[in-house]
């Protein structure tokens, strides 16, 4: 695959993750709930779950849209790597956070976990982008 395509995909994933990170920081630091946060997390969940099973992959691609967190193979692979590395059941944590079924302290803990997950994705994607830039230069 041409370097420029891989680079573009990494950068896109980083910038889309950043949108979620910004929203989560506002929630955690200023107790502001950004109206779009839940919808953005639900869209992200489809992409995160896609790596679980063939059925979920088919479901993701059947309703691919401009709001999807990922839309390319390399992006899904990166998410899978981060999931394995962090070892948390991130899908459940996101669902719990969205559904508000815990007390405020636990809710905050879930928000921190979700933030760390998307921060890891962003950091890994930015790193991937930088590496691809180096490869392109050499």
Partner 1 sequence: MDVFDAAALRQDSASLLRFIATVVDTCSSQADYPSYLKPSEDFFRSIRELGAATVAFLDAFPAGLPTDPALYLDYRRKLTALRQAWTAIHEYVKPAVEAHTLGIPSPFIEALIHRFNLIPQFQDSSFALIHTHEVMYYQLRASWIRDKIKEISDLVGIDSPFPSNLGIIALPYSQSGGLFLNCAIAHEMGHFVFQKLQLRNSFAAAVVGSLTTTLGAEISTLQPNDLTWMIETVLKWTEELFCDLFALWLIGPCFSFSYIELFDMPYALEDATSRLPFVKFYDVHPADLLRLQQHRVMLVELGWWRTFSRVDSHYVSILNKSEPLRAEDFVVVASRAPAICVQTRSVFFHVIPAIHSKVHSLFVGVDSGVEEFERLSGTVEEYLWRGVIPSTVFTELALRYPRITTLLNTAAKVHISSLDKLLDQVKEGGATSPQKRSEWTSRLELWTIKALEDSVILERTGHTWG
Nearer to partner 1, 10 or 96 (CB): 10
How far, in Å, CA of 138 to CA of 132, rounded? 10
Establish if 34 lies at the interface with partner 1 (CB under 8 A). no
Pick the binder of partner 1 from 54, 103, 134, 138 (CB under 8 A): 54
Contact in structure between 75 and 9 (CB atoms under 8 Å): yes
4, burial (CB in 10 Å: exposed 0-12, middle 13-18, buried 19+): exposed
Identify the CA nearest to 71 among candidates 54, 83, 57, 92. Answer: 57
Q: Which stretch binds partner 1 (CB under 8 A): 59-67, 85-93, 96-104?
A: 59-67
Q: Determine the Cα–Cα distance for residues 84 and 87; give it in Å rounded to an integer.
A: 5
Residue 61 near partner 1 by CB under 8 A: yes
Considering only residues 89 through 118, tell me which ones interact with partner 1, judged by CB under 8 A. 112, 115
Q: Is 31 in the site for partner 1 (CB under 8 A)?
A: no
Tally the residues of the chain: 138
| Binding interface with partner 1 (CB under 8 A) | 1-2, 4-5, 7-8, 11-12, 14-16, 18-19, 21-22, 25, 28-29, 50-58, 61-66, 71-73, 76-77, 80, 112, 115, 119, 122-123, 126, 129-130, 133
């Amino acid at each position: 695959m041409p370097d420029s395509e891989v680079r573009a995909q990494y950068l896109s994933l980083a910038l889309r993750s950043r949108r979620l990170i910004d929203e989560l920081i506002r929630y955690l630091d200023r107790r502001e709930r950004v109206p779009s946060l839940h919808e953005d997390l639900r869209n992200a969940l489809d992409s995160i779950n896609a790596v679980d099973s063939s059925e979920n992959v088919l479901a993701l691609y059947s309703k691919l849209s401009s709001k999807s967190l990922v839309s390319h193979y390399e992006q899904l692979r990166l998410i899978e790597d981060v999931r394995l590395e962090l070892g948390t059941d991130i899908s459940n944590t996101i669902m719990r956070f969205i559904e508000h079924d815990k007390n405020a302290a636990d809710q905050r803990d879930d928000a921190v976990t979700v933030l760390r997950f998307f921060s890891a994705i962003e950091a890994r994607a930015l790193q991937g982008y930088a590496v691809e830039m180096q490869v392109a230069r050499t």
